[in-house]
Structure 1
Amino acid sequence: MLDYMTKLIAERIAPWGKVPLLQEIFQSEEPATVARHIYEFCEAELGQQPTEALFFFCSIGVVFGLEMPGGQRIVIKAHKPERPLTFLTQMGNVQRYLVARGYPCPRPILGPRPLGRGLAIIDELIDEGVFRDAHEPVIRKAIATALYELIQLLRHVEQAGIDPTPFDLRLPSDVLWPNPHNAIFDFEATREGAEWIDELAWKVKRIIEADEQPPVLSHGDFSANQMRLVGDHLRMVYDWDSLTLRSELVSVGATASTFTYSEQPGITNIETTYADAAAFIVDYEAARQQPFTSEEQRIIQAATLLGQLYSARCQHALHPHEHKYSRIWYEQMCAEYGTIL
């Protein structure tokens, strides 16, 4: 079992070269060392060793799918050392709150508990259903409706004893970008050539800052990559460590910018176009049964554009000399969003 987990990790990270996140959490990028950490964690926290390694992913956190004796299937997600205990504790509380109300999210089993230099949580693994292409109108509508339902459920979580403040990750007025979600993106070292991205991002950030709606909890990565469906209905939404506190308008816009993204097998069209984003916003309006005002639309579109600009900034950080995001693309984006600038 340990050898198989080691092989699974090695195969996954082979194309990547360096994996800074593994070093951050486990102080090693050696697959055998990482596998041993997980093996020992299961034995210490669950009193038993896994019988099968199902999958391994590495992005914002390090994720392991495991089968335990008796057939129990679990997900372990190890978090960076800087991820606060209060954040992960309240995250589990939010998940339990949603599960109790029938929302499709995993049931927490244990955690947060120390793992390596960070903390880990264990959730029930539910992998019924399939991943779908969110360009399909019926899937796009399901995602928009589920986002609306989620925001309504989380609008007053304080009344259930949940503290939403650990999820308030809004940046100060003089800070443009958050720390990139993955250490492979170095914004500081790749400033040259990204000036046009930053310039436009500052403009839309100021529009968003004029939003006077109160913040509410929402899912910060509400995309096809995180969702399984049975038929046309959501069966499970993953990645709850992306919970974030911001206004409904910003959540709608940010989701509209990336909802089609997916790394799942068989889904090749992951680009979210301006037309996709506009259709998503219309679907969200249908779910809330009320259109947004023109000023609300302006803030939503600004949040959509900022999401796309963050993606552009990440791509530039990976390939600063390829000029994938050319002046032509910049002018096209300005034309599409010219009404809000």
Structure 2
Amino acid sequence: MALDDLPGWLPVWCAGQLGAEPVGVRFELRSMSAVFGLRLADGRDVVVKAREDDGRAASCVAAQTWLADKGFPCPRPLTAPVGVGVLAVHAEEFRPGGEPLPGDSPDVAVAYAEVFAGLMSGLAGSAVPPPLPNPRWSRWDHRDSGVWPSIGSLDELDQRAVPAYVVDTARRVRERLLAADLPCVLGHADFEAQNLCWHGTEVWAVHDWDSLAWQPEAALVGAAGGAFPKTGPATLPPIESSAAFLAAYQDHRGRRFSEEEQEVAWAASLWTAAHDVRWEALHGKAPNADDALRTQAAERLRRANA
């Protein structure tokens, strides 16, 4: 990407918030947000993130700053979120290097669980306001009618494309999660392989801090244990790997989950996968007959008492 292709507001924003305009573009990524890796005129490399302002950005950046100050391996924010039209924009340090840690074996699950435990321990002491509403793929706690949260771009598509077992799984998961009486805490709701970089078995950087959620700890842990190996399409790790993740997390936190928390964790391990399979089906990417959700749903639902 050339400098001339940057959004018109970005050089002015950098000059005002960072004290220097960009003179080079290291990378650009676009998904739910736009992410620009920039070289500034004063020689610094920074990352600028912009996404539609849904009221969550201030809390998410504050939590990321809190963790960075405590030494957790995440990019340190350089600015608070600043409104630019409908966007919330902030800058953070450029933290290059590291590689994804591939695989979904129990040993790999334990490595991810150790990082998640450290993340949750670090957030436990913060006083950040809840970043609500929760991200759409983890928003089982919505108050909309029906099973799924209301998302216009999905709701307008032909819902008949979604396999019945996906809808039934999501319904049973949501009923179990809503029936729980557990306090909410702050946690990372997009804890996937594509958002972590490693040096061997040592984590180097955890990214995507605009995906924090305010939900019961067990639900956040269960969701992470069901999503940690994801790098693309909807998937689930083997059940024994999710079990290893759950056990290792409790070991590192020094607290055993109650029976209800265990059930909530297993229920939450299915919600993101169901959301992702629905998204793929609605966009013409129907899951295979032997996809992981279809294969594992019954056992995970049994463990969830759902």
TM-score for both structures, normalised by structure 1: 0.77
> Offset at 1:193?
3.1
The answer to whether structure 1 residue 235 and structure 2 residue 186 are counterparts is no
Contact 1:5/1:35 (<8 A) preserved: no
Tell me the residue number matched to 2:296.
Answer: 333
Tell me the residue number matched to 1:172.
Answer: 143
Distance 2:234 2:165 in 1: 26
Contact 1:312/1:325 (<8 A) preserved: no
Residue type at the aligned position of 2:157: A
Structure 1, 65-74 or 39-48: larger mean CA deviation: 39-48
Distance 2:185 2:293 in 1: 32
Q: Which runs of 5+ in 2 are unaligned?
A: none
Q: Which runs of 5+ in 1 are unaligned?
A: 7-31
Distance 2:94 2:277 in 1: 33
Residue type at the aligned position of 2:29: F
Aligned pair count reads: 298
Tell me the residue number matched to 1:186.
Answer: 154
- Which of 268, 285, 290 aligns to 1:303? It is 268
> Offset at 1:48?
2.4
Structure 1, 278-287 or 239-248: larger mean CA deviation: 278-287
> Offset at 1:124?
0.8
Higher relative contact order, chain-length normalized (CA < 8 Å, sep 6+): 2
Distance 1:110 1:98 in 2: 15
Q: Any residues of structure 2 matched to 1:1-341 within 5 Å, and which?
A: 4-5=2-3, 32=5, 34-81=6-53, 83-84=54-55, 87-135=56-104, 138-158=107-127, 162-164=128-130, 166=132, 170-172=141-143, 174-179=145-150, 186-194=154-162, 195-262=164-231, 272-319=237-284, 323-326=286-289, 332-339=295-302, 340-341=305-306
Distance 1:258 1:165 in 2: 21
With over 3 angstroms needed to count, the CA separation of the structure-2 counterparts of 1:332 and 1:128, relative to structure 1, is: closer
Structure 1, 308-317 or 65-74: larger mean CA deviation: 65-74
Percent of aligned pairs with the same amino acid: 24
Residue type at the aligned position of 1:201: A
With over 3 angstroms needed to count, the CA separation of the structure-2 counterparts of 1:166 and 1:335, relative to structure 1, is: closer
Q: Give the 3-state SS of the residue equivalent to 2:185 in structure 1.
A: strand
Residue type at the aligned position of 1:336: E
Distance 1:70 1:329 in 2: 49
> Offset at 1:235?
1.7
With over 3 angstroms needed to count, the CA separation of the structure-2 counterparts of 1:49 and 1:187, relative to structure 1, is: same
